[in-house]
Structure 1
Amino acid sequence: MTRVAVLGAGSWGTTFAKVLADAGCSVLLHARRPELAGTIGETRQNPDYLPGIRLPDRLRATADPAEALAGAEIVVLAVPSQSLRANLGEWAPLLPADAVLLSLMKGIELGSTKRMSEVICEVTGAGPDRVAALSGPNLAREIAEEQPAATVVACPDRERAAQVQAACHTPYFRPYTNADLVGCELGGAVKNVIALACGITEGMGFGDNTRASLITRGLAETARLGAALGAEPTTFAGLAGLGDLVATCSSPLSRNRTFGERLGRGMSVEEVQRGTRQVAEGVKSCRPVLDLARARGVDMPLTEAVVRVCHEGVPVPQMVKEIMSREAKPE
């Protein structure tokens, strides 16, 4: 029985811990707050982030990271992207020497513009062959309800990718493997930014043509950045590219789309942040994504527009006007 530690008891961390347990793994879920860990153990539910979903008996919870990590063969990192470095600084001395380090995070680090796998390698000293990422159209609530879904386990080491694949394969959750870690991580990070744009236009009352246009041009932006960073072009046509982008831009369960929708209805970024408990990764990641693109000479107008709204105070109607008035050119 594979021993797995899941560090982060938010909605996606808890859901993936359930998937792992349903797949037959022995799972310890780390919650930073002892009261939440106790509640999960006593009620078999995470009422804060996944109310109404019963968690398997094979899944246990703890507030002690040392207990969670002891003997783990796979360590799943499921914290907000911008807090990863600080959290890993605490956890690194406790990590088992040969465990696979699996990132569930979809973001780019502020300041460094590093992908999450790069942060993991830098902080822990782990070789790139030990680091994997999970990415795909994986809205937590639907998977927790055991609605059929697929995902990608990306890792340059095929044996480790297969190890993670086997650990999370259930009748309702189908993982594929992919060696293109760069492309899968970029797809997961940029789609949150495009989902903000889709949400903004939804909040303004625009319809399917607008959303389809943003998804398509957003995919083009992602693929351009991926090409500049050495990703495989085919990755962006798969689950970690187009699949994740469509789900996140279209579903009301998407945090980023919902955040954007509230902006489109006239709320400020600060007002939306005060009214939500969940983290919308695209709000913070849009700026480092744009920095990364500019450093590589890649044009990303939708990402730039989201940055201007979220961080430069540009009114939403002006953002739309600027995008639509860009110079006409071939697709």
Structure 2
Amino acid sequence: MTSGYRVALIGSGCWGSAIAKIVGLNVLNQPEIFEKEVLMYVYEEIIDGAKLTDIINLEHENVKYLPDIKISPNVIAVPDVVQACTNADILIFVLPHQFVKETCEKMASAIKPGALGLSLIKGFVLSEGEGIQLVSNIIKNTLNIETAVLMGANLATEVASEMFCETTIACHNPEYHPILSRLFQTPYFRVKVIENVAGVEACGALKNVVGIGAGIVDGLGYGDNTKAAVIRLGLMEMMKFTKVFLDSDDISVFFESCGIADLVATCHGGRNRLLGEAVVKSMKLRGWAGVDIRLLEKEILRGQSFQGPLIAKEIYTYLKDHEMLDQYPLFVAIHRICTREVDPRNFIECLRDHPEHM
């Protein structure tokens, strides 16, 4: 195992800051393997008259996206993504999936040959003319580097609070497996490394859509039995979509943390579950025409974005292009609720009339 790996973080939201806490301490405690300093790219914002990067570097806390959680002082916030990635051996991507392509294009000229990318981004990218793509492929093809993924039942605030959880890392090259374990493993964040990058990543994206459905059930006032039905039917559609999209029969990933565990966690505590519930409550308060996801983002997420509606749109576009809408009624209904084509009060009909019950 080579020493002196330089690590960079590309992104600094709630999840990015939680991972920065883990990576910062692991790098600091293993000087025989990693360089001490970790640069973290932060989209610059002004918070109470001060730059967010300055606040993070002075207080060692992301006061906007992950308040009250301390980040190791060796994690240095910088507002320039090129500066963050220069000379890095391992690039950890944790930013909204809709910004991946343009961010990678800015970084391309500064990437170190032989660097490894690692995507923690749970989403797909819909490109005109190319259709739906895995985020890891966007990073890999734009930067010409091997790209691994990390996905799992990892709600950011719980990880940051050191509540025990598991995660799944997937990397094609087994030579990287030990270094990735050393970079992320802690007593409360347990890592398993496998090789099925595409399968792990697809799980991480698809569960966000099902999570919205679970939230709709909560908003409508139904109980755990109904939510369990959403989880089961959603898992079936996830497995079916992954088989078609990836042309793979490997279902083993659904039994890793990135699979059923992440789905259950998302459907009970994730931000997309929160969105589904908020949509129904907003409808009751403001009327169906008054439901505005961008407004809900401001009210609930401190300006961050719900990724579920974008992923639902990307999946819907893929299914429509391939004339498969009727085969995925749960995914389709959730997309149409997010776009206000269907009243969420009709969601239970979708569950009751699902082809699985015919």
TM norm structure 1 = 0.92
Which residue of 1 is the match for residue 44 of structure 2? 33
Q: What's the CA shift string for 1:104-124, capped at 9, x where partnerless?
A: 100111343101012112322
Q: Structure 2: which amino acid aligns with 1:290?
A: Y
Query: Hey, what's the Cα distance between the residues in 2 that align with 1:8 and 1:272?
Result: 22
CA shift at 1:293, angstroms? 4.1
Query: Hey, what's the Cα distance between the residues in 2 that align with 1:161 and 1:95?
Result: 21
* 1:20 aligned to which of 23, 30, 49: 23
Residues 37 and 62, structure 1, Cα contact 8 Å, conserved in 2:
yes
Residues 330 and 350, structure 2, Cα contact 8 Å, conserved in 1:
no
Bigger Cα Rg: 2
Query: Hey, what's the Cα distance between the residues in 2 that align with 1:153 and 1:162?
Result: 11
Q: 1:86 to 1:209 in 2, by over 3 A?
A: same
CA shift at 1:160, angstroms? 2.0
2:255 matched to 1:237? yes
Q: 1:83 to 1:236 in 2, by over 3 A?
A: same
CA shift at 1:166, angstroms? 1.7
- Give the match's secondary structure for 1:53: coil
CA shift at 1:145, angstroms? 1.0
Residues 329 and 350, structure 2, Cα contact 8 Å, conserved in 1:
no
- Give the match's secondary structure for 2:218: helix
- Give the match's secondary structure for 2:190: strand
Which residue of 1 is the match for residue 115 of structure 2? 99
CA shift at 1:203, angstroms? 0.9
CA shift at 1:161, angstroms? 3.3
**Equivalences for 1:36-185 in 2 at 5 Å?**
36-111=52-127, 112-126=131-145, 130-185=146-201
Query: Hey, what's the Cα distance between the residues in 1 that align with 2:214 and 2:117?
Result: 32
Which residue of 1 is the match for residue 275 of structure 2? 259
Which residue of 2 is the match for residue 273 of structure 1? 297
Which residue of 1 is the match for residue 314 of structure 2? 288
Q: 1:152 to 1:322 in 2, by over 3 A?
A: closer
Query: Hey, what's the Cα distance between the residues in 1 that align with 2:147 and 2:355?
Result: 42
* 1:213 aligned to which of 225, 229, 233: 229
2:334 matched to 1:306? yes
Query: Hey, what's the Cα distance between the residues in 2 that align with 1:216 and 1:89?
Result: 39
Query: Hey, what's the Cα distance between the residues in 1 that align with 2:95 and 2:274?
Result: 20
Q: 1:144 to 1:326 in 2, by over 3 A?
A: closer
Q: Structure 2: which amino acid aligns with 1:15?
A: A
Q: What's the CA shift string for 1:180-220, capped at 9, x where partnerless?
A: 11111111001000000000110111110011111111111
Q: What's the CA shift string for 1:38-65, capped at 9, x where partnerless?
A: 1100011110011001111222211122
Which residue of 2 is the match for residue 246 of structure 1? 264
Query: Hey, what's the Cα distance between the residues in 1 that align with 2:26 and 2:178?
Result: 14
Q: 1:117 to 1:327 in 2, by over 3 A?
A: closer
Query: Hey, what's the Cα distance between the residues in 2 that align with 1:184 and 1:328?
Result: 25
Query: Hey, what's the Cα distance between the residues in 1 that align with 2:184 and 2:144?
Result: 26
Query: Hey, what's the Cα distance between the residues in 1 that align with 2:355 and 2:168?
Result: 37
- Give the match's secondary structure for 2:8: strand
Q: Structure 1: which amino acid aligns with 2:342?
A: V
Residues 87 and 110, structure 2, Cα contact 8 Å, conserved in 1:
no
Q: What's the CA shift string for 1:160-190, capped at 9, x where partnerless?
A: 2332222111222111111111111111001
Q: What's the CA shift string for 1:259-291, capped at 9, x where partnerless?
A: 111012134133423424222111111021233
Query: Hey, what's the Cα distance between the residues in 2 that align with 1:178 and 1:104?
Result: 15
Instruction: Give the number of equivalent residue pairs.
Output: 325
Query: Hey, what's the Cα distance between the residues in 2 that align with 1:136 and 1:327?
Result: 29
Q: Structure 2: which amino acid aligns with 1:226?
A: T
Q: What's the CA shift string for 1:299-329, capped at 9, x where partnerless?
A: 2221111111112521111233233234564
Query: Hey, what's the Cα distance between the residues in 2 that align with 1:191 and 1:82?
Result: 17
Segment of structure 1 superposing worse, 291-300 or 310-319: 291-300
Percentage of matched positions with identical amino acids: 30
Structure 2 unaligned regions, length at least 5:
28-33, 46-50, 284-290
* 1:9 aligned to which of 8, 12, 22: 12
Residues 90 and 115, structure 2, Cα contact 8 Å, conserved in 1:
yes
- Give the match's secondary structure for 2:9: strand
Structure 1 unaligned regions, length at least 5:
none
